[in-house]
Amino acid sequence: DTAVSQTPKYLVTQMGNDKSIKCEQNLGHDTMYWYKQDSKKFLKIMFSYNNKELIINETVPNRFSPKSPDKAHLNLHINSLELGDSAVYFCASALGHLGNTIYFGEGSWLTVV
């Protein structure tokens, strides 16, 4: 009955590979996010979708491409992985996009070797 679930939880891959992280929420929310947490635990927003429409697109390399097939899902695809992409990626969701509580998933630990 996990509210925001993301898979895989752990991912180790080689430089240059392409990988995807999937996210699903069963909270009935219409806004979803991807955040990145670096090794110093700094959390930074990457993308946000509201009703499948991209509303936040921070300065992220275009190797990162989010895809939202419906408002309950937001996947993150990463092309040509680099060492610096190693981080924890958190999916999150909220109801609306005007100052409501954002709920986070448990994170996906990506290690690029």
**Positions in the binding site for other proteins (CB under 8 A):** 4, 31, 37, 39-45, 48, 50, 55-56, 88, 90, 92, 94, 96-107, 109
Residue whose CB is less far from other proteins, 79 or 95: 95
Kindly write down the DSSP assignment for every residue of 30-56, as one continuous string: SEEEEEEE-TT--EEEEEEEETTEEEE
Q: How far is the CB of 109 from other proteins (least distance, A)?
A: 6
Q: How far is the CB of 52 from other proteins (least distance, A)?
A: 15
Q: How far is the CB of 99 from other proteins (least distance, A)?
A: 3
Distance CA(66)–CA(57), nearest Å, equals 10
Q: How many CB atoms lie within 10 A of CB 37?
A: 15
Q: How far is the CB of 56 from other proteins (least distance, A)?
A: 5
The gap from C-alpha 25 to its chain's centroid, in whole angstroms, comes to 12
Residue whose CB is less far from other proteins, 16 or 55: 55
Residue whose CB is less far from other proteins, 67 or 107: 107
